[in-house]
Structure 1
Amino acid sequence: MNYLLPIISGVLTGLAMPGNLFSFLIWFSVAPFLYSFSKSKGTFERLFKVFLYSYSLMFSTLWWEIPVLSKNIPEVINSFPGYIGFFSFLLMILILTLPYYIIWFLGELYFRKSRVINFKSITLFSVFSYAAAEVLKQFGDFAFTGGNLSDALYLHTGFLQILPFTGTIGLTILILLVNSFIAFVRERERLKYAIIIIGSLYVINFAISEKLPLIKMNENAVKISVFQTNVPQEVKYSDNMWNSYVEISNYLQENNDKTDLLILPEAIFIKDIRESEIFRIIQEAVKISNKNWIIGFPIYNSEKKEFYNSALYLNKSGEIENIYNKIKLMPFAEFLPYENIFRIFSFFKLVNYYTPGSDYSVLNLKDKKFSVQICFETYFPEVSRNFVKNGAQFLIAISNDGWFSHKTALLQHFSKSVLRAAENRRTFIQVSNTGITGIVDKYGRIVETLPIKTYSSANFNVPIESKETFYTKYANIIIIIILILAMLFSLI
């Protein structure tokens, strides 16, 4: 039982994540780990418990990656066998546990021989050491914020109103406070207090959700068309780019909606088509539509000999007005981290390794400013935050989620758009190849989504927002404070 509690805790926490089981689990799922960790008898035991918890958490959160790596990608690009993909998944999960070892490191400072442990000190240590781990998950070549505690509550709109002030770390701290209380309160009072606290929180969540105002459209609102292309990956990654064009050509030719902007997903094509006949046909379609377009495909810079994963912004004349190059690339699929160590994993490259972009460029549409980010960039709060600081009045993400067989993966990805919308008080639109395509209002309420794995489109009215939230302005200070408090509560 000594080492079983962290595993149970990790699995329960993973099952609370979007698309898995019940979000309700998040209020007590971390408590067994915190309790077990506090009862550890030495350095190795604490280290091993952090490993067991974090590995089981990430495994039960990201289980949907197993068919992606062992079946879907191998069948399409045919560069490695399925069993290699499975073992690579196990290694990937191991890498994703690294930030959690800050809990072990801080625990070595806290559980020293001279320490007098009481309810207050163990609670504060547990809350902020874990919060520090989630902060560190945002940084480095292996950065990935999947499995953050706050993800579980993406549908709880009342709780999301914490985010404009603290970001998701504030919601994580609230969750950890409840879990720590349950872990360390006297056993005979545990159930009673858990029911009272969690019940009260849900009443508060409901009350706040009901009091949030409706979004009023004004004359400054932008009308946007979105197109969920639903092109199979085996078609997209075939040698003939015309195959992809044929899959979407009917919509492009019939797109006569009276809107200001059309958004297509990431990687409509997997090669640079700017010099091709296909692109000239698309330019003509843009002119006929009489609207600006966003379309995603890789581009090649012949002077620098570099590839970029890009979103192109075309004006009504079909001319390229701006290009955003993806800044936060996915390790192994889009770039190879620590090449000297991980060179043997280069077979995971889907098409090309890309060079990261450097500019959080804001686009202009009838004097309204907006931004576009690409795929898993929504997992990184600083991307949306930097766009808003540069003047973006609404946010867009384009994605190619066609690799994922299970809806859980799509829900976990889309949940990040909900969090980014609430953090920055900006309407957020995600447009994906197979879904989830949808719009989220500035309070984090999901306004509309399209059916997944369908060839479909929709029109959205998007209000314009200009004010920056406290979190948008001071997120870096909040991060520093969390790390300082984590160290402080480990030492005092």
Structure 2
Amino acid sequence: MPLPVAVIAAVLAGAGLDLAYPELGWWPVAFVSVTVALWTLQGRSLPAAFLVSLAYGAAFYFTHLSWVSRYLGPIPWVALAGLESILFGAGGILITLAYRFAATTSRYRSVLVSAWVAGLWVLRETIMGNWPYGGFPWARTGLTLVDSPFSEAASWVGTTGLSFILVVICASALQALNTRRWQGWIPPVFVVLLTLLMPLFPTEQAGTFRVGWVQGNGPSGYFDTKSAGDILDAQEDASAPLVGPSMDLLVWPEGSVDADPLKDPAAAARLDRLVDNMGAPALVNAATTRDGKTYNTSMLWDGDGAIQLHDKANPVPFGEYVPDRWFYEALAPDLVGMIQREYTPGSNAPVMDVDGTRIGLAICFDVIYDDVIREGADAGAQLYVFQTNNADFRGTDENLQQLATARMRAIETGRTVVNVSTTGTSQIIGKDGTVLSEIPVDTAGARVTEVTLNDGTTPAVVLMPWIGPVLSVTSAVALLAAAFTKLRSRTAGATRRKRNN
């Protein structure tokens, strides 16, 4: 493919990939987009491979992450999308090298090249999900399949495994198109059928649990006009209809208490009255200060106050804290100066015990980090509760993108998920990823729902810490081995020519 055509094709395919994610969720587009992305990298020089992948990455990330600019303007959006695009472009170089070695070295002319390319795609996603500043594993390709017939496979291989499978299918189909032989379609068809036949991994039901969940729709955005206590007022008002029905736990979203109840007696007294009226403990969230450090804290509150705490493990860089503040203040002092709080990462486990029931937790963007979900599962979580605040992204599809992750977590863990937001949307999600109940966006609402508890560990949870690194390292080692073999062949050829001369 000529380079100008490849760049145009990459831009179109990159922008098209966003259509596979919510809000639209046209998941088949992901297969077309990834196939075109791989096609544009074949036969490229390394600088051209970077350019083509950069074009694809920019078209995708600047579209997909446009919600970042909703309130803070273009600078954070350009910075985040630009960095992700550059990292994506660098990954394209590795894929081009794999195709080059596969084309010139007979031992790599096999279906294994598709797995090799898919592994390098996963390597790129793994690096972007861990670096810099903890990474941003927001838009892994496998998430596009949450509404597809392939979704149940996530209970076996996780989101990372779905990314690998998707790219294997696309790479195999591209090889079949290149060879123009019907036998070339056997590998992609086989992988498609195998994935479709993978059932939802069975986890054992261990009883039921009555959850009250409340979306207060208060003024919880960073720039919302509000006074102290307004958010707490909104949550209390929305919770009023739940007085009377029995429940095991009341759940409020992230930022639902706009005071530190560990230090503010008035806020603590209001929470005491809340749990007394509800007849159940409450899982609430607030910014807390302890030992001179600030945390984003979820608290299990009962008649004795905060009896269990969980602090957000991964505060958002440039949202909840500023890494290397001295450097970024020199670049954008007004913007960085708006971020006054410096949240400290939590070290307490993302799990709470509610009268013998283990509840796994993730606060807002922590839902995208595998280690948080895995730690809850290791601690025996029978149900997950995700508390979030999407108020700063009203009018965008950010909350729907986050919902896709929450739904995928339900499938991966084989657990019901309670996903509660300040302004929406909030859901009860079944272990198969189905939304069972929902409160619409920008709506105050409260419900009591009886949900299932589940025991048992899915293969996806077991593989979470391993599948990305193993696929990444294996593919990288294969690339280094191919490069070494190529270099040794060239050296041996040069030596023979010298002897002949």
TM over 0.5: yes
Residues 195-234 of structure 1 aligned to structure 2 (within 5 Å) = 201=192, 205=196, 220-233=207-220
Deviation at 1:182, TM superposition (A): 3.1
Residues 119 and 474 in structure 2, CA contact (< 8 A), matched pair in contact too:
yes
**Match of residue 320 from structure 1:** 306
Residues 6 and 53 in structure 1, CA contact (< 8 A), matched pair in contact too:
yes
Structure 1 unaligned runs (5+)? 70-84
**Match of residue 361 from structure 2:** 372
User: Amino acid of the residue matched to residue 352 of structure 1?
Assistant: R
**Match of residue 360 from structure 1:** 349
User: Per-residue CA shift, 1:237-296, capped at 9, x if unaligned?
Assistant: 556313223333323445312111100110023442441423312211211211010111
Separation of aligned partners in 2, 1:4 and 1:195: 30
Deviation at 1:144, TM superposition (A): 1.3
Residues 222 and 260 in structure 1, CA contact (< 8 A), matched pair in contact too:
yes
| Alpha-carbon spacing, 1:287–1:449, altered in 2? closer, same or farther (3 Å) | same
SS at match of 1:174: helix
Residues 428 and 442 in structure 1, CA contact (< 8 A), matched pair in contact too:
yes
Residues 26-425 of structure 1 aligned to structure 2 (within 5 Å) = 26-40=30-44, 42-69=45-72, 85-100=73-88, 101-105=90-94, 107-108=96-97, 111=100, 115=105, 118=109, 120=111, 122-140=113-131, 141-156=133-148, 158-186=149-177, 201=192, 205=196, 220-233=207-220, 240-256=227-243, 257-274=245-262, 275-301=264-290, 303=291, 305-315=292-302, 317=303, 319-343=305-329, 344-345=331-332, 347-348=335-336, 349-425=338-414
**Match of residue 480 from structure 1:** 469
Residues 143 and 404 in structure 2, CA contact (< 8 A), matched pair in contact too:
yes
Deviation at 1:186, TM superposition (A): 3.0
User: Per-residue CA shift, 1:321-359, capped at 9, x if unaligned?
Assistant: 111110011110112123354334563555512000012
Stretch of structure 1 that moved more, 323-332 or 457-466? 457-466
Structure 2 unaligned runs (5+)? 483-501
| Alpha-carbon spacing, 1:262–1:195, altered in 2? closer, same or farther (3 Å) | farther
TM-score (norm 1): 0.86
Separation of aligned partners in 2, 1:400 and 1:19: 18
TM-score (norm 2): 0.84
| Alpha-carbon spacing, 1:138–1:187, altered in 2? closer, same or farther (3 Å) | closer
Deviation at 1:309, TM superposition (A): 0.7
Q: 1:8 aligns with which of 1, 6, 12?
A: 12
Separation of aligned partners in 1, 2:239 and 2:42: 60
User: Amino acid of the residue matched to residue 97 of structure 1?
Assistant: S
| Alpha-carbon spacing, 1:307–1:474, altered in 2? closer, same or farther (3 Å) | same
Instruction: Please tell me the root mean square deviation across aligned C-alpha atoms, in Å.
Output: 3.1
User: Per-residue CA shift, 1:15-44, capped at 9, x if unaligned?
Assistant: 21121452220111111121111121x221
**Match of residue 497 from structure 2:** none
Separation of aligned partners in 2, 1:341 and 1:109: 38
Deviation at 1:227, TM superposition (A): 0.2
Deviation at 1:482, TM superposition (A): 0.5
| Alpha-carbon spacing, 1:334–1:20, altered in 2? closer, same or farther (3 Å) | same
Deviation at 1:202, TM superposition (A): 8.7
SS at match of 2:23: coil
| Alpha-carbon spacing, 1:39–1:319, altered in 2? closer, same or farther (3 Å) | same
Separation of aligned partners in 2, 1:432 and 1:198: 40
Deviation at 1:437, TM superposition (A): 0.7
Quote the sequence identity (%).
16
User: Amino acid of the residue matched to residue 313 of structure 1?
Assistant: L
Separation of aligned partners in 2, 1:54 and 1:336: 25
Separation of aligned partners in 1, 2:190 and 2:214: 41
**Match of residue 486 from structure 2:** none
| Alpha-carbon spacing, 1:5–1:368, altered in 2? closer, same or farther (3 Å) | same
Between Structure 1 and Structure 2, whose CA radius of gyration is higher? 2
**Match of residue 447 from structure 2:** 458
**Match of residue 74 from structure 1:** none
SS at match of 1:167: helix
| Alpha-carbon spacing, 1:458–1:212, altered in 2? closer, same or farther (3 Å) | farther
| Alpha-carbon spacing, 1:90–1:290, altered in 2? closer, same or farther (3 Å) | same
User: Amino acid of the residue matched to residue 324 of structure 2?
Assistant: Y
Separation of aligned partners in 2, 1:268 and 1:403: 14
| Alpha-carbon spacing, 1:447–1:131, altered in 2? closer, same or farther (3 Å) | same
| Alpha-carbon spacing, 1:233–1:202, altered in 2? closer, same or farther (3 Å) | farther
